[in-house]
Amino acid sequence: MSTTEVKPIPDWMHSITPHLVCDGAAAAIEFYKKAFDAVERCRVPGPQGKLIHAAIRIGDSSVMLVDEMPECGALGPKARGGSSVTIHLQVEDVDAVVERAVAAGARITMPVDDMFWGDRYGQIEDPFGHSWSVATHVRDVSPEELQEAAKKMFG
């Protein structure tokens, strides 16, 4: 038996970690490697070869994945007719990351542009139906400037 103390939150985890259900989790891992320079941390195949658990690292954050398993209620966004969740990815060069993601198979849902809140920002949908926003912070905006710009945009 180990006498070392177990950390409640391991060093490689953050307080919140997305757990994606994918129709083809192994293919999703390969996509995330190409699109976002993901590093595979682990892969646990089940009896029929479906992944019952996998984890990747994108930047300093972990993402867990699992194959669709309708019998367990695990359905991906395509099976559900879309996703109401967007995963946000903060990067050094949004244009390069979105370009790489599109080359790997993503679809642009909002072209990259400079936004009133100070980010260069765009949105994509990955081949598995998950929505991603991708941004690079390009200028600081005061709370007053943010409020004024939001009023102008949204009335």
Distance of CA 113 to the CA centre of its chain: 19
pLDDT at 40: 98
pLDDT at 1: 58
Question: pTM of whole model > 0.85?
Answer: yes
The contacts of residue 2 (CB under 8 Å, 6+ apart) are none
pLDDT at 2: 60
Neighbouring CB atoms inside 10 A of 152's CB total 9
pLDDT at 56: 98
- Dihedral sign of CA atoms 25, 26, 30, 33 in order: positive
Residues of the chain below pLDDT 50: none
- Dihedral sign of CA atoms 149, 137, 121, 123 in order: negative
